Amino acid sequence: MKRTKLVALLGMVALLASCGGQTSTPTSAEDTGAATTPSTTIETTLKIGSPAAQSEFVKGQVEKFLKDNGYSKVTVSMVELGEDKADSAITDWTTGPDVYAFAGDKILSLNQQGALATVPNSKLRKMGTDLSSEAFSAATLGTSTVAYPFAADNGYFMYYDSSVVKHTGNIEEVIADCLAAGRKVVYSLDTAWYSIGLLSSFGARYNVNLAADGSKISSITADFDSANGVKAAKAMLQLVNNPNVDVVADDNGTAPSAANKVGATITGTWNGEAFATAVGENLKAVKLPGVTVDGTIANLGSFAGYKLYGVNPKPSGKDTARLDLAHSVAEYLISEAAQSARFEAFKTAPTNKTVAAKDEVTSDIGLAALAAQAPYSIPQTAVPGNIWSAADTLRTTMKENPVMTDAQLEEAMRAFNSTVCKVDN
């Protein structure tokens, strides 16, 4: 993969993530002044929220930062927190983590809960130097920057066993190749993140318009009840009821291997290392295949977005030294050193420009596939609040009625679209 392709990937994901049409230059909070407090005098415990699989890595990075900067009286306490559950798993943010990772679509909800401190001026200036300028769109609400983007690969594509799958152009061909070898395709359509991506395949979209200050959704428009939306629904109906497609809600660990009786898995870079170990040199990765509906072929759609670190101001209260330290920790976690280490450990697509240009990053097969999928992706930023439950309802209806008429699909998509457009701040 050429360097220019990775730059295109980062830029494309960021542009897709600019849902709502942010055009103003992001602003930040003034520095607290706590930076002048000697590091050796700060005595506290910082809580860091992280998915379990990355907890030890993140703890090690935070402890390295503290040691290197003389914070000898600061300890680290890890809190298990899924990036996709950050806005729902914690009900009392006063006892929540000081710094935590979250998926980009949670940014509005977290901000409304008061769990995102605005990035101070000094941190914002360094972000502007070290990160791609496009990354700011994923960390911005209204005109304020409220998070630290650390990963540009919150999307999915297809890993496959090349000894089994010989045709990657269309999903029908992929399924046929797998069937011939006694294997299945793993496509986690029981998870709305995947099924909504599919429903965008023929061009149907939603658009979330935010209030000027970024505090809430002002309106939502969508056209999933259009002809394009119905075509995508037909594709979804075919796949969720195909016995050779495993629509399990959790794709983690399901490598396209003989041991798993799987030939292709639609997932993201977070599984790359484990899949390489399980499959070996036969592991390949490509963008999602096409799908055929009523004689029309469209590339299967997906989400594209960022993962970010948020700084929760509530545990600090009036302790400005602790809050400033939390910001410094978040800043370090998106630094060149931390992102290099994260790529080595997890093959995470970096937001840091220097890391993104490294040979080992630009040659990664997963990131190359993600770059190829980017034009067929929709942004994972502020999303309609009811879209996930609407997708679950639609999928349940399809499973209960595997042979739906066009009229029934049109009715189902009208109901889906109406639910998606409801504003529920």
Q: Taking residues 77-103, report their average pLDDT.
A: 96
> Closest Cα to residue 264, out of 361, 161, 360?
161
Q: pLDDT, tens digit, for every residue of 350-387?
A: 999 999 999 999 999 999 999 999 999 998 888 899 99
Q: Quick one: three-class SS letters along 359-388?
A: HHHHCCHHHHHHHHHHHHEEECCCCCCCHH
Could you give the 3-state DSSP secondary structure of residue 226? coil
How does strand 74-80 pair with strand 44-50? parallel
Written as one string, the DSSP assignment of 202-225 is TS--EEEEE-TTSSSEEEEEE-TT
Q: What pLDDT, on a 0 to 100 scale, did the predictor assign at position 52?
A: 94
User: Under a CB-based contact definition with an 8 Å cutoff, are residues 224 and 197 in contact?
Assistant: no
> Closest Cα to residue 261, out of 186, 188, 187?
186
CATH of region 157-304+384-420: 3.40.190.10
Q: What pLDDT, on a 0 to 100 scale, did the predictor assign at position 20?
A: 35
Q: pLDDT, tens digit, for every residue of 45-68?
A: 999 999 999 999 999 999 999 999
135 Cβ contact list (under 8 Å, min separation 6): 10, 14, 127, 149, 152, 306, 351
CATH homologous superfamily for the domain 21-153+305-358? Periplasmic binding protein-like II (3.40.190.10)
Angstrom distances, CA of residue 98 to CA of 266, 308, 342? 34, 14, 20
Q: How far apart are CA 233 and CA 134, in angstroms?
A: 32
59 class by beta-carbon count within 10 Å (0-12 exposed, 13-18 middle, 19+ buried): middle
Q: pLDDT, tens digit, for every residue of 205-261?
A: 999 999 988 889 999 999 999 999 999 999 999 999 999 999 987 767 799 999 999
User: Per-domain residue ranges for the chain?
Assistant: 21-153+305-358, 157-304+384-420
Q: pLDDT, tens digit, for every residue of 302-349?
A: 999 999 999 999 999 999 999 999 999 999 999 999 999 999 998 899
**Cross-strand bridge partners of residue 11:** none
Q: Residue with structure tokens 């045709």?
A: 167
Q: pLDDT, tens digit, for every residue of 369-379?
A: 999 999 999 98
Q: What pLDDT, on a 0 to 100 scale, did the predictor assign at position 133?
A: 67
